[in-house]
Structure 1
Amino acid sequence: MKVGLFGLLGSGNMGNDGSLEVILAYLREHHPSAELSSLCSGADVVEARYGVPAEPLHWYYTRDRDPGPLARFGLKVFAKFRDSARVLRWVRRQDVVIVPGAGVLENTLPLRAWGFPLSLFLLSVFGRLTGTKVAFVNVGSNVINQRMMRFLIRWAAGLAHYRSFRDSLSRDSLATMGVDTSRDEVFPDLVFALPGPDVTVESGTVAVGLMDYHGSNDDRASADLIHKTYVEGMRRFVRWLVDGGHRVRLLIGDEVDEKIVREFMADMPETLVYEQIRTLGDVMAQIARAEVVVATRYHNVLCALKLGKPTVSVSYSAKNDRIMADMGIGEYTQDARTVDADRLIVQFTEVVAAADRIGLVLGENAGRKSAQLARQFEVLSAALGMPVETAKESTREVIS
């Protein structure tokens, strides 16, 4: 059986690649004879890191681009036709295409309709035309206001053969946009199936997750002000931690975030620690060394919760607030658009004081979510007509 993996994979976002790792572990354990390939944004990385033959999703970004505006526009138009033909050829070769997790149906960060949303739309349309089953597995969504992007996302999801969501907020958002989700199920985020690292906690260490944050698609007019407010608020909080004697480890969730890390390191070079992060496993290894986590990227927050760390979420999306509430500590959040350093200090102090209680609550909830994911994989195999090829056992145990 030919199984394709589709998405913004291998392009620097650790959360997306973490979801890919979980799906690959599931396929290789339960469907080892499946012939895998990928159409993705970071084909070279996916091939080298995961051993999956891959093709680039967007031709325009694989070549040197002429700086002239007219030539650039012409290349982009040509690239859209070329990319559409590539998606069709690739989809026709697959029996099944899986879009693994991540917020592929949302626009909580700046995004253009004619980029990845169009690619998703073409995937689902060509899947229907060629008889290839397209599955959106454990994905995130939000209510999209921009008319064209809403149209593309709505039809991309609506034409899919199978859908599941990582939270009820995502399922409800898609329903609000006109997709019948009454038969779609909600499962915990795929990251809960990843193994936790075996490292020693460093006393007094706080992990702070930074983000090159400029607001959402709806915030483009005030993006610079939002960015400035976020960076200044986080810098003031980090200075307070350092002045209080804490060892601070900086985290990222996407390679683009290293720009902000470099700014912080230049400002406080003797007191901050940053070790290069390229995978979600790297993120978890850093988080595991800390006693407390304060972070912005969704998968930084998610990994901290999975590992039972007292956590404060500087949230850029409702999905951050939802997972914090679902894990039992919803009071420790604030909006990344208007970071209040004084409030952040109070929230940090409160989670430290309640660390033992929070650790117990998070441990119980994380274990429950990991166990629930085993059913996600059973349902997926059945929905895609892929008989399990090995002795039946918990996928969570296999991945762990």
Structure 2
Amino acid sequence: MKVGVFGLLGAGNMGNDGSLEVVLAYLRDHHPDVEVSALCSGPEVVEERYGIPSTPLYWYFTRHRDPVLPVRVAVKAVCKFRDSARVLRWVRRHDVVIVPGAGVLENTLPLRAWGFPLSLFLLSFFGRLTGTKVAFVNVGSNVIRQRTMRFFVRWATRLAHYRSFRDTLTRDALAEMGVDTSRDEVYPDLVFAMASPDVTVESGTVAVGLMDFHGSNDDRARADSIHRTYVDGMRRFVRFLVDSGRRVRLLIGDEVDEVVVRQVLGEHPAGAVTYEPIRTLGDVMARIATADVVVGTRYHNVLCALKQAKPTISVSYSTKNDRIMADMGLGEYTQDARTVDVDRLIEQFTAVAAAAKEITPALAERSAHRTALLTRQFEVLSASLGLPATTKKEVVS
């Protein structure tokens, strides 16, 4: 049986790749006889890191781009046709295609309708055309207002064989956009299926997750202003931590975030603020494991902290951040990344650090419950997709 994985994978976003890692572990543990391959935006990385054959999703980004605008536009148009044909050929070679978690159906960050949303629509459309089962597993979305993007997302999910969502926000958003979600289930984000590193906590250490943040699709007109406000606010907060005698360990959630890391690092004495290169969600988990408290912006920075029962503050760029914080009992420890209030952030940090002994056990209980729910998710997924059961020989371990 041939199973494909599809998405913006291997392109630098740790959340996307972490979701892929969890799905691959599930397939290898429970269905080791299936053949797995990928159609993704970073095929070289996926092949090297995860050992599965991979095909580039976008031909345009694999070639030299002509500097002359008319030529560039013409080449891009041709590439769209080539990419569509490639998706069709790839889909029909598989029995099942899985879109693994992450916010693949949302536009909380700048996104063009004719990019990945179109690709998702083609995936589901060709799946129906060829009889390949397409599964959206624990994915996230928001209510999309832009007409073309809304059309692609709505029909991508309508045409899918299987859907599950990582929160009720997603289910409600898709229902508002015209998708019948009455039979779709909500399960925790796939991050809760990852193993927590066994490392020693370094007392007095705060993990601060930074993001190259410019607002959402709706904020394009003031993107530069939002970015300056965010970076300035996080700089001032890190300075407060250093002046208070805390060690600061910086985090990212996408390789593009290193631009902001470099800006913050250059302002402090050597050793007071550190950054070790991060390339996987496992790296994020390992850095967070050593900290007392976590302050994060990227959704998967926040998730990794909650998974490991760390007292957490979310400098949120999306409602999904606020929802997971509320669901985990930390709703009072959030604020908007567009208008970082440093004084309030310091108050939140002081409060969450003081309440750590009460917060940690409650988070651990909620995290364990979510991990157990994902076991049920994988059982349902296997049955829905008709994946072959593990043989008796392979069960022994």
Q: Distance in 1 between matches of 2:66 and 2:246?
A: 48
Which residue is 1:232 aligned to?
A: 232
Task: State how many pairs are aligned.
Answer: 395
2:264 and 2:68 map into 1 onto residues whose CA distance is 35
Report the counterpart of residue 85 of structure 2 in structure 1: 85
- State the distance in 1 between where 2:83 and 2:206 align: 44
Partner of 1:163: 163
Counterpart in 2 of 1:367?
Answer: 368
The Cα shift of 1:154 comes to 0.4
- Whether 1:63 and 2:63 are equivalent positions in the alignment is yes
Task: State whether structure 2 residue 179 is matched by structure 1 residue 179.
Answer: yes
Cα distance, 1:390 vs structure 2: 4.2
Look up the SS of the partner of 1:293 in the other structure.
strand
Question: After the TM superposition, which residues 132-171 of structure 1 pair with which residues of structure 2 at under 5 Å, given as runs?
Answer: 132-171=132-171
Q: Give RMSD over aligned pairs.
A: 1.3
Residue 35, structure 1, aligned to residue 29, structure 2: no
1:266 deviates by 1.7
State the 1:269 CA deviation: 4.9
Distance 2:269 2:16 in 1: 30
1:12 aligns with: 12
- Which residue matches 1:319? 320
Please give the secondary structure, in 2, of the residue aligned with 1:160. Answer: coil
Q: Distance in 2 between matches of 1:90 and 1:251?
A: 36
Between the aligned partners of 1:329 and 1:90, the Cα distance in structure 2 is 43
Which residue identity lines up with residue 293 of structure 2 in the other structure?
A: V
User: Alpha-carbon deviation of 1:240?
Assistant: 0.5
| C-alpha separation in 2, matches of 1:367 and 1:143 | 30
SS in 2 for 1:386: coil
Alignment of 1:53 onto 2:53: yes
- Residue 219 of structure 2 corresponds to residue 219 of structure 1: yes
Q: Which amino acid aligns with 2:355?
A: A
> Which residue number corresponds to residue 118 of structure 1?
118
Q: Which residue of 2 aligns with 1:107?
A: 107
Q: Which amino acid aligns with 2:351?
A: E
C-alpha distance in 2 between matches for 1:165 and 1:249: 32
1:289 is aligned with what amino acid?
Answer: T
2:257 counterpart of 1:248? no
**What is residue 348 of structure 2 aligned with on the other side?**
347
1:275 and 2:276 matched: yes
Q: In structure 2, how many angstroms separate the alpha carbons of the residues matched to 1:120 and 1:363? A: 35
Deviation at 1:267, TM superposition (A): 2.1
Structure 2 Cα separation of the partners of residues 364 and 392 of structure 1 = 34
String of CA shifts for 1:55-82, please: whole Å, max 9, x gaps.
0000111111112211211111111001
* Cα distance in structure 1, aligned partners of 2:266 and 2:65: 32
- Measured in 2, the distance between the counterparts of 1:70 and 1:267 equals 44
Q: CA deviation at 1:391?
A: 5.7
Q: Contact 1:29–1:390 at 8 Å: present in 2 too?
A: no
Corresponding residue number in structure 2 for 1:287: 288
Cα separation, 2, equivalents of 1:393 and 1:325 = 41
Deviations 1:195-252 (A, max 9, x none): 0011111110000000000000111011111111101111110000011110000000
Equivalent-residue separation in structure 1 for 2:166 and 2:160 (angstroms): 16
DSSP 3-state at the match of 2:266: helix
Whole-Å separation in 2 of the counterparts to 1:107 and 1:269: 38
The aligned counterpart of 1:305 is 306
* 1:305 partner letter: L
Q: Distance in 1 between matches of 2:367 and 2:394?
A: 20
Distance (Å, rounded) in 2 between the aligned partners of 1:254 and 1:380: 28
Give the Cα–Cα distance (whole angstroms) in 2 for the partners of residues 339 and 392 of structure 1: 56
Report how far residue 368 of structure 1 moved: 0.4
Partner of 2:386: 385
SS at match of 1:286: helix
Counterpart of 2:200? 200
| SS of residue matched to 1:225 | helix
Give the C-alpha shift of residue 350 in structure 1. Answer: 0.3
Q: Contact (CA 8 Å) 1:135, 1:162: kept in 2 or not?
A: yes
Q: 1:326 corresponds to which letter in structure 2?
A: D
Structure 2 residue runs of 5 or longer lacking an equivalent are none
Matched residue type, 1:340: D
Aligned to 1:102, the other structure's residue is in SS state coil
The Cα shift of 1:392 comes to: 12
- CA distance change for structure 1 residues 95 and 341 in 2, over 3 Å: closer, same or farther? same
Corresponding position of 1:358: 359
**Greater Cα shift, 241-250 or 259-268:** 259-268
- Residue of structure 2 equivalent to 1:75: 75
Identity %: 75
Given that 1:30 and 1:390 are in contact with CA atoms closer than 8 Å, whether structure 2 keeps it comes out as no
**Runs of 4+ displaced beyond 4 Å:** 390-394
Q: Is the 8 A contact 1:10 1:40 kept in 2?
A: yes
Q: Which amino acid aligns with 2:156?
A: A
Q: 1:30 Cα deviation (Å)?
A: 1.0
Tell whether the 8 Å contact from 1:88 to 1:126 is kept in structure 2 after alignment: yes
Partner-residue secondary structure (3-state), 2:88: helix
Render the CA deviation track for 1:163-218: whole Å, top value 9, x for unaligned: 00001111110000000000000001111000001111111000000000000011
Q: C-alpha distance in 1, partners of 2:302/2:154?
A: 28
SS in structure 1 at match of 2:23: helix
CA contact 1:306–1:363 (8 Å) conserved in 2: yes
1:26 aligns with 2:22: no
SS in 1 for 2:135: strand
